[in-house]
């Protein structure tokens, strides 16, 4: 999971990759399926991997848009029973184990 500072860095790189994709398509009048999206979004994946490794995790290479879901602020605190994060900051029940959120 990414803290806000890490997420901001990743989001900047992601936006740059999207701009690069749009620019590539415009310059070449290319369809999306003919655009090397994976190559253009590779910096996003590499940064995510570096951030994960710096935090002590070995992250697999995943789709660039998938890493945007790893924002810590989007989830709630850890469940007091199973330890998994609640699905949202306002969640009242843990989706994983059904425990009610501690007051």
User: Alpha-carbon distance 50 to 40, whole Å?
Assistant: 18
Task: Tell me if 4 sits within 8 A of 73, measured CB to CB.
Answer: yes
Q: What is the DSSP letter of 69?
A: G
Beta bridge partners of 81: none
Q: What is the pLDDT along the chain (103 residues), one digit of tens a residue?
A: 899 999 999 999 999 999 999 999 999 999 999 999 999 999 999 999 999 999 898 878 888 889 899 899 999 999 999 999 999 999 999 999 999 998 7
pLDDT of residue 88: 94
Task: Tell me if 39 sits within 8 A of 55, measured CB to CB.
Answer: no
pTM more than 0.85: no
- DSSP, collapsed to helix, strand or coil, labels residue 88 as coil
């Amino acid at each position: 999971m990414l803290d806000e500072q890490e997420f901001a860095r990743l989001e900047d790189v992601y936006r740059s990759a999207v701009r690069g994709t749009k620019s590539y398509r415009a310059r070449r009048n290319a369809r999306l399926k003919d655009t090397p999206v994976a190559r253009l979004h590779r910096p996003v994946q590499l940064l995510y991997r570096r951030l994960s490794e710096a935090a002590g995790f070995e992250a697999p290479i995943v789709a660039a848009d998938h890493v945007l879901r790893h924002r810590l602020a989007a989830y709630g605190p850890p469940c007091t029973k199973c330890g998994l994060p609640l699905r949202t900051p306002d969640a009242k029940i843990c989706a994983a184990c059904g425990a009610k959120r501690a007051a």
